[in-house]
Structure 1
Amino acid sequence: MSKLYFRYAAMNAGKSTALLQVAYNYEERGMRVRLFTAAHDDRHGRGAIGSRLGLTREAETFAPSTVFDRAGLGDDTLACVLVDEAQFLTPEQVRQLHRLAHAGHLPVICYGLRSDFRGDAFPGSAMLLTLADDVEEMKTICACARKATMNIRIDAQGRRVKDGDQVEIGGNDRYRAVCPSCFYADDDGGAVLAPGLFG
């Protein structure tokens, strides 16, 4: 039985690396996959999935208007759909992917963040946590050596940013994965992060 899978983690847990490995495994066995990433995420170039290990691969992009259905994905030789930056899916797109897995008999594996820099759920992630048949947390660590489950946004001076749009594309220069203790540690107004602690 095909399923909708959600693999989530904080930043820097290797989500994109894992996705690229899964794609390689399928293709090494002669199976076709389709890879998708968010259209507005151009950190590795538009329509590219990249990992911090230096691996990069072309992918199709999705926007809020993208429809995921069997007819749009092509012939029956497709073995799997892989979605990076899945937090940017709309709730309706997650429902489409769930339907695709069950009515279309096509495995769908999504990788993404669970929450934003404020600790609020992304709408796509909330729906994935609701509908996914298999949910797995990928692990990474905070600079304090605890398990990181949260993300923070920082400015150019290393100060914590607590307000702003939910979506602002950036990598290690703008975001850090932290444990819950560190997430709440600077509730006194945005102290500069300790030198060397985050980079």
Structure 2
Amino acid sequence: MAKLFFRYAAMNAGKSTALLQVAHNYEERGHAVRIFTAGVDDRYGKGFVTSRLGPQRLAEVFNAATDFRALLTQSPGVACVLVDEAQFLTKDQVWSLHEIAHMRHVPVICYGLRTDFQGELFGGSAALLALADEMDEMKTICDCGRKATMNMRVDASGRKLTEGAQVEIGGNSRYRAVCGRCFRAS
């Protein structure tokens, strides 16, 4: 039975690496996959799922106007749909992916952040937490050694920022994965 999966974590937990491994496993066995990533995240070029470890792969780009139902209806034979940066999905898109999993019997595995730098849910993540059949928290660690669950935005001097737009694309120079204690103490 196909399901909608949500695999979430703080930054730098290996979400993109895990997605690339799942794609490889399906394809190694002769199965077709469709891979999507958010157009807003262009840190490594538009339309790429990139692991910090180095592997990179071209993917289809989604934005708020992407109609997953229409795209995937035109793709018979797809064995799995993989979505990177799933926090940027809209609520309607998550409902569409839920339908694809349950009515078209295609597993959909979404990878993304749960919360932003202020500890607030992203819209796509909120919908996935509500609709996903299975959720897995991927783990990473804070500088102090505890499990990191928060994404802390920092300025050029490494100081915590508490205000700003919800979405500001950046890597290790802009964000740090931290535990709740370090998030509060900063």
The interval holding the TM-score normalised by the smaller chain is over 0.9
Distance 2:18 2:71 in 1: 25
State the one-letter code of the partner of 2:71.
Answer: G
Q: CA RMSD in A?
A: 0.7
Asked whether 1:35 is paired with 2:44, we answer: no
Deviations 1:128-171 (A, max 9, x none): 00000000000000000000000000111111111000000000
Deviations 1:1-37 (A, max 9, x none): 1100000000010000000000000000010001000
Q: Give the count of matched residue pairs.
A: 185
Q: Name the structure 1 match of 2:65.
A: 65
| TM-score, scaled to structure 1 | 0.92
Deviations 1:61-104 (A, max 9, x none): 000000111x4222321100000000000011001100110011
Q: Name the structure 2 match of 1:193.
A: none
Distance 2:11 2:59 in 1: 20
Percent of pairs with identical residues: 66
Asked whether 1:16 is paired with 2:16, we answer: yes
SS of 2:16 mapped into structure 1: helix
Q: Name the structure 2 match of 1:7.
A: 7
Q: Name the structure 1 match of 2:55.
A: 55
Q: Name the structure 1 match of 2:153.
A: 153
Q: Name the structure 2 match of 1:190.
A: none
Distance 1:72 1:2 in 2: 18
Distance 2:82 2:15 in 1: 11
SS of 1:169 mapped into structure 2: coil
1:71-82 mapped onto 2 (5 Å cutoff): 71-73=70-72, 74-82=74-82
Distance 1:75 1:171 in 2: 33
- Give the gaps of 5 or more residues in structure 2: none
State the one-letter code of the partner of 2:158.
Answer: G
Distance 2:67 2:153 in 1: 31
| TM-score, scaled to structure 2 | 0.98
Distance 1:45 1:16 in 2: 15
Rg larger for: 1
Q: Name the structure 2 match of 1:46.
A: 46
Q: Name the structure 2 match of 1:92.
A: 92
Distance 1:182 1:104 in 2: 44
SS of 2:146 mapped into structure 1: coil
State the one-letter code of the partner of 1:132.
Answer: A
- Give the gaps of 5 or more residues in structure 1: 187-199
SS of 1:20 mapped into structure 2: helix
SS of 2:7 mapped into structure 1: strand
